[in-house]
Amino acid sequence: MATLICGSLAFDTIMDFEGRFAQQILPEQLHILNVSFLVPHLRRDFGGCAGNIAYAMRALGGEPLPMAVVGGDGADYLQRLRALGIGTDHVLQLADTYTAQAMIMTDRDNNQITAFHPGAMMQAHRQRVPARADIRLGIVSPDGREAMLQHAEQFHAAGIPFVFDPGQGLPMFDGMELNHFVDLADWITVNDYEGRMLCDRTGAELGALSWRVRGLIVTLGGDGCELWENGVRRHVPAEPPTQVVDPTGCGDAWRGALLYGLERGWDLARCAALGNRLGALKIATRGPQNYVVDAALRA
């Protein structure tokens, strides 16, 4: 059984500013803003929602199939996926554009300034959910707007149950479109802020939305997560991390664990508990795809 992961593959450039943005930016001069930040520490990571989720699933022993688009600079990413045992049959490479890039600068207070270039991701609608008998599960994670709309329709038409994970792409959709996603999906995952926005735009509370899907999950960071099934809320406590190093990719690790459990027919509470454990493991490691999973974690 394979899981099709619709979303982005991206390169994350992470820069650490050792001062505070607030000390460098004068509020009364924002209309003529011209600042430069010295960033002595820089690293480049493999990222993007589809890549991070696939990494988590594969590390647990699942069968992820990312469906995404990379640019002419994406050869290293394709090679990495194959080395991890992750199939790239449904990753399209376009020579005339760049792979999506996120440039993230963090100050000493963990405030962040991010610039995101979508690049090849904007062509993700050129990919279609394939007709493969082994694909029994899917996820629509943040991607190009048209791709998210079309891939949700294609999963539903093919009878493939899928998770709707709008993430940072949620603001692209109005209430009518989000209600349509809910009607097509089998499960929904959002963080606390996204959950509030989803309710505001659809005009429905979480409990009411949960009657329309098989399960709705709200991740709460260090407070664990809450599950909604048929209007009933349950809380799944967090797993305390050994240390807090880098939160980048924690949500994607959680979703990889969710899909791993759903592949195996687990109930949502068991899936969520594994997600909390994997999130705690990831946050103790720099980068979204550098943590190592041992067999005991999957139990």
Name the residues annotated as catalytic.
Answer: 252
Phi, psi of 98 (to 5 degrees): -95, 150
Rounded distance between C-alpha atoms, residue 113 and residue 2, angstroms: 36
* Helix H or strand E encompassing 259: helix 250-263
DSSP 8-class letter at 239: P
User: In this structure, how many other beta carbons lie within 10 angstroms of the beta carbon of residue 184?
Assistant: 18
* Distance from the first to the final alpha carbon of the chain: 19
CA distance 240 to 151: 36
Residues near 241 by beta carbon (within 8 Å), at least 6 away in sequence:
280, 281, 283, 284
Of 159, 94, 168, whose CA–CA distance to 129 is shortest?
A: 159
CA pair distance 129, 127, nearest whole angstrom:
7
Quote the distance between the C-alpha of residue 165 and its chain's center: 7
Give how far the C-alpha of residue 227 lies from the chain's centroid of Cα atoms, to the nearest Å: 18
Tell me, what DSSP letter sits at residue 28? G
Rounded to the nearest 5°, which phi and psi values hold at 242?
Answer: -70, -30
Taking a C-beta distance cutoff of 8 angstroms, is the pair 245, 285 a contact? yes
Triad 180, 186, 187: Cα angle to 5°: 100
The amino acid sitting at 148 is: M
Distance CA 282, CA 292 (A): 8
